[in-house]
Amino acid sequence: MPDLSFDSGQLVAMLVMAIALGMDAFSLGIGIGMKGIRLLDVLKIAVVVGLFHILMPLLGMAAGQFVGSLLGDVALIAGGGLLSLLGLHMIYSSLRGEEVRSFDHASLLGLILFALSVSIDSFSVGISLGLFASDVWLAVMMFGSFGLAMSMAGLLLGRHVSSWLGEYGEALGGVILLVIGVKFLI
């Protein structure tokens, strides 16, 4: 029978990491949710984000320390640039009054790009995860659960707030995405 006892310090560290990794999904979910989103799409996006929060740390562990150090900064810059462009486009289309979709959550490519952008930091966490975690599967399942729950909470909160803000909701959502993207770039 496997040993099910956990080091409480390690469990707390994994919990804090899971929350920290889920915060990107939460904050970006608010921005996307402000555009107005159907409940079925909230669920679909949250599930895909949760899966990416499981897959990315596993890929990070498989890629190894060398590849992670090489791609870490490049991936961060690419993710920040993508979020900044997405935010600028949302602001532009909101101010112009155009019905242009800046994030097409209905398309597979748009959904994957969103999930990848909020899960990219999980890749670098995965690189070091194998070094200290005795139960890697518990850690990645926690990351996935928090990624799913926090993205869903952010999408629902953004959806709710958008009803108060009306047409300015998309612009505010764009500003949120832009600020987060610039934060990654700095």
**Distance, CA of 153 to CA of 25 (rounded, Å):** 9
Looking at the domain assignment, is residue 31 inside a domain? yes
Contact 147, 119 (CB under 8 A): yes
- Residue 45: inside a domain, yes or no? yes
Does a structural domain hold residue 87? no
Residue 25 within any structural domain of the chain: yes
pLDDT band at 103 (very low <50, low <70, confident <90, very high): low
The Cα angle at residue 17 between residues 14 and 23, in degrees rounded to 5:
145
Answer whether 0.85 is exceeded by the pTM.
Answer: no
User: Tens digits of per-residue pLDDT, 129-142?
Assistant: 655 555 778 888 99
Q: What is the Cα–Cα distance from 168 to 162, expressed in whole angstroms?
A: 8
Distance in angstroms (rounded) separating the CA atoms of residues 152 and 150? 5
Number of domains in the chain: 1
pLDDT value at position 1? Answer: 45
For 161, the domain range is 8-70+105-166
Mean pLDDT of the chain: 75
Residue spans of alpha helices (H) in 34-107: 39-96
In a domain, 179, yes or no: no
Residue in the structure block whose two tokens are 């890749």: 123
Whether 117 is covered by a domain: the verdict is yes
Give pLDDT, residue 85: 76
Position 76 in a domain: no
Is residue 98 assigned to a domain? no
Contact 81, 185 (CB under 8 A): yes
